[in-house]
């Protein structure tokens, strides 16, 4: 099979490339990625040594380039990870989120219609369901939970999901969608909570916790997400949505304290700052469908996963030093410079 992984130079996409090269050595894996600030060829250095792997630089919203890639690579499967993925950036500048996440998805699906495809898989997110209240721990997101988005990012991802389902219903495109909870692990871009806190703590810099720090996220080790997508490709039913999560809910402040403990640093580094606008309170996935229908289970608890992730960042300083030495500094100064300390 020829499997095109869009956004494969980013965090989850790259982990998926490695997962597939290891677990499906008979398949060709083609990464198609625009290499935005979040895409990094250094992440794919090992993959480039594998004859089954190929990298193509390109934008999913560029129709001509996408059609050319389809003509040349003849994909059997598309797994679409390519996206603008950071909520804070979407609050500052929504437009590029619509361009990539919505228009880009529609171009990919048009290409699938034109050239034919065995499967188009859309990597979506639990954020399309909005949030849950903190005082109702009995509530979880199921595949039937209505879409109810909060940020321009989640609105763009929900729009893409609707479009994917419309192409399935109207044109019979063989699609599946997965909606996963928060991922963490190797190659996570340091603008996101866990890598940002690890790297700041390693530099004895303040750890900016938004608001009261009681917001809850449902954390999943990235390799478990990759395994879930691979199972959906093999056994998932066309036209279906699958939620992915492992019931690993943690308050942000708990996660930050666990990182400090792992690094042997003191809690005085924590600084509560101005909250994110429209900040979702709690995400929590009900993974019953994927477990019962496809037999997927997560394998890594947050305790083990966070320890392994901290170790990975300790051992791969070259990888993240390169990233934080460039535009990231400007981003950090702009994004965090205007936040006020609230305790």
> Which DSSP string do the residues of 132-195 spell out, in sequence order?
B-TT-TT--B-TTSPP---SHHHHHHHHHHHHHHHHHHHH---EEEEEE--EESTT--TTSHHH
Cα distances (Å, whole numbers) of residue 209 to 254, 256, 267: 11, 8, 12
The residues in 46-105 that bind ligand DAU, with binding defined as CB under 6 A, are 85-87
- Of all helices (H) and strands (E), which one includes residue 107? helix 105-115
Q: Which of 120, 153, 167, 184 is catalytic?
A: 153
**Per CB under 6 A, 36 contacts ligand NAD:** yes
The interface partner of residue 167, options being ligand DAU, ligand NAD, none and the CB cut-off 5 to 8 Å by kind, is: none
The residues in 54-113 that bind ligand NAD, with binding defined as CB under 6 A, are 59-61, 81-85, 100, 104
Q: Which of 33, 59, 84, 126 is catalytic?
A: 126
The residues in 112-131 that bind ligand NAD, with binding defined as CB under 6 A, are 123, 125
**Per CB under 6 A, 176 contacts ligand NAD:** no
The residues in 263-302 that bind ligand DAU, with binding defined as CB under 6 A, are 276, 283
Comparing CB distances to ligand NAD, the nearer of 4 and 180 is 180
Q: Counting Cβ atoms within 10 Å, is residue 80 exposed (0-12), middle (13-18) or buried (19+)?
A: buried
The interface partner of residue 283, options being ligand NAD, ligand DAU, none and the CB cut-off 5 to 8 Å by kind, is: ligand DAU
Tokens of 245: 């999560």
Residue pair 155/210 in contact (Cβ under 8 Å)? The answer is no
Strand partners, 96: none
Work out which of 15, 80, 125, 150 binds ligand DAU, going by CB under 6 A: 125
Tokens of 14: 């790259």
Is 313 an active-site residue?
no
Is 127 an active-site residue?
yes
Binding site for ligand DAU (CB under 6 A): 85-87, 125-127, 181-182, 192-193, 196, 208-210, 215, 217, 252, 276, 283
């Amino acid at each position: 099979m020829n499997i095109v992984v869009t956004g494969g130079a980013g965090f989850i996409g790259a982990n998926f490339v490695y997962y597939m090269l290891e677990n499906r050595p008979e398949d060709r894996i083609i990464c198609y990625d625009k290499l935005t600030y979040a895409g990094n060829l250094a992440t794919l250095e090992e993959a480039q040594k594998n004859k089954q792997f190929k990298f193509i630089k390109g934008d999913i919203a560029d129709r001509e380039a996408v059609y050319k890639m389809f003509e040349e690579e003849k994909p059997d499967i598309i797994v679409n990870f390519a996206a603008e993925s950071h909520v804070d950036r979407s609050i500052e500048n929504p437009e590029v989120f619509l361009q990539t996440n919505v228009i880009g998805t529609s171009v990919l699906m048009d290409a699938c219609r034109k050239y034919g495809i065995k499967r188009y898989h859309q990597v979506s997110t639990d954020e399309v369901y909005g949030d849950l209240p903190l005082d109702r721990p009995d509530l979880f997101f199921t595949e039937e939970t209505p879409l109810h988005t909060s940020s321009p990012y989640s609105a763009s991802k929900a729009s893409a999901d609707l479009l994917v389902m419309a192409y399935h219903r109207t044109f019979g495109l063989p699609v599946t969608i997965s909606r996963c909870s928060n991922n963490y692990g190797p190659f996570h871009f340091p603008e996101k909570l866990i890598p940002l806190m690890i790297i700041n703590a390693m530099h004895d810099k303040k750890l900016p916790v938004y608001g009261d720090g009681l917001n809850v996220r449902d954390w999943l080790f990235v390799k478990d997400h990759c395994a879930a997508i691979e199972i959906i490709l093999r056994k998932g039913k066309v036209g279906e949505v699958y939620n992915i999560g492992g019931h690993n809910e943690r308050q942000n402040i708990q996660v930050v304290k666990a990182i400090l403990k792992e690094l042997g640093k003191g809690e005085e580094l924590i600084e509560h700052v101005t909250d994110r606008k429209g900040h979702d309170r709690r995400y929590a996935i009900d993974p019953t469908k994927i477990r019962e229908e496809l037999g997927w289970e997560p394998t890594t608890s947050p305790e083990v996963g966070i320890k392994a992730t901290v170790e990975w960042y300790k051992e791969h300083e070259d990888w993240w030093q390169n990233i934080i030495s460039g535009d990231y500094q400007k981003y950090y100064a702009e994004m965090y410079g205007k936040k006020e300390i609230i305790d």
